[in-house]
Amino acid sequence: MKRLLLVLAVLLGILLLTARAAEPRKDDRMKRKLASSQKVLEGIAVGDFKLIDKHAEELLLIAKEAGWKVLKTPAYELYSNDFRRHAETLMKNAKDKNLDAAALTYVELTLTCVKCHKHVREVQMTSLD
């Protein structure tokens, strides 16, 4: 009986570790977000609408992942919604082959990231005090 409990405990531990490893870590998500946003900028710089669309869609998918939501504040919700809306608009700009609109939307998306990260840092600093 003790042996069975030990085996079950080991299996449970392995399952928990596997489940945790399967979840994308926050820094992995950030690296993916940065890589995709750089590819969007590259697409804008060279006028490659397929590249803009592909990586704007990747940004949207990242923003829809369950682990995206790190805070439950109205400001965080606003920034997240803005980010998703800007990613969708970038996709539309790419489909419309509107480089000027894509460039402007990219700037708006980037500013949303900066504001949101500032908000998250402020909330985390406040909670530490």
What CATH number is attached to the domain comprising 113?
1.20.120.10
State yes or no: pLDDT of 118 exceeds 60: yes
Q: Where are the beta strands (DSSP E) in the chain?
A: none
82 falls within a domain: yes
Q: How far apart are CA 76 and CA 89, in angstroms?
A: 20
80 falls within a domain: yes
Long-range pairs for 47-55 at CB < 8 Å and ≥24 separation? 47/99, 49/94, 49/95, 49/97, 49/99, 49/102, 50/94, 52/90, 52/91, 52/93, 52/94, 52/102, 53/90, 53/91, 53/94, 53/95
54 falls within a domain: yes
Which conformational region is residue 97 in: left (phi greater than 0), alpha (psi within -120 to 50 degrees), or beta? left
Mean pLDDT of the chain: 85
Q: Pick the residue with more confidence: 10 or 29?
A: 29
Q: Which of 105, 101, 107, 104 is nearest to 87 (CA)?
A: 105
7 falls within a domain: no
DSSP state of 47: T
> Which range scores top for mean pLDDT: 14-18, 23-27, 108-112?
108-112
pLDDT recorded at residue 14: 58
Average pLDDT on 33-37 reads: 95
6 falls within a domain: no
Is there a contact between 97 and 117 (Cβ–Cβ < 8 Å)? no
110 falls within a domain: yes
What's CA 91's distance to the chain center, in Å?
A: 16
Domain that holds residue 37: 24-128
pLDDT recorded at residue 46: 97
State yes or no: pLDDT of 122 exceeds 80: yes
pLDDT recorded at residue 39: 97
**Confidence tier at 126 by pLDDT (50, 70, 90):** confident
pTM (two decimals): 0.77
Average pLDDT on 74-86 reads: 96
Q: Per the structure, how many domains does the chain have? A: 1
98 falls within a domain: yes
Per-residue model confidence as pLDDT tens digits over 45-58: 999 999 999 999 99
